[in-house]
Amino acid sequence: MKIDSKLKSRLAKAQADILAGKVTAKLRAELDQLADEINAAGDGHEPLKQVVHGLRVAASAA
């Protein structure tokens, strides 16, 4: 499975929301869903997995 640009734009939006302090339960659920989609994409997406992990940590700290 290939990671598409729509998924990457969702990651960018989540990052912007976290940086703006707009951390909500909906955002956390979106991060969980993104993590699931990237994991389902299979191997070779470690950098994106690390990005999602970092965003989840940042969201939980906010």
Better pLDDT: 8 or 26: 26
Task: Tell me the pLDDT band of 46, cut-offs 50, 70 and 90.
Answer: confident
Which residue is associated with the tokens 């993104």?
Answer: 34
Give the domain ranges of the chain: 5-61
Q: What is the mean pLDDT of residues 48-61?
A: 92
CA angle 3, 16, 12 (to 5 degrees): 10
Give the mean pLDDT of 46-61.
92
Given this model, what pLDDT does residue 2 score? 64
Q: Name 30's Cβ contacts closer than 8 Å, sequence gap at least 6.
A: 10, 14
Mean pLDDT confidence for 23-43: 91
The two structure tokens encoding residue 11: 């990651």
Cα dist from 57 to 1, 43, 51, whole Å? 26, 22, 10
Question: 23 exposed, middle or buried (CB, 10 Å; 0-12, 13-18, 19+)?
Answer: middle
Q: What is the pLDDT of residue 62?
A: 81
- pTM recorded for the entire structure: 0.83
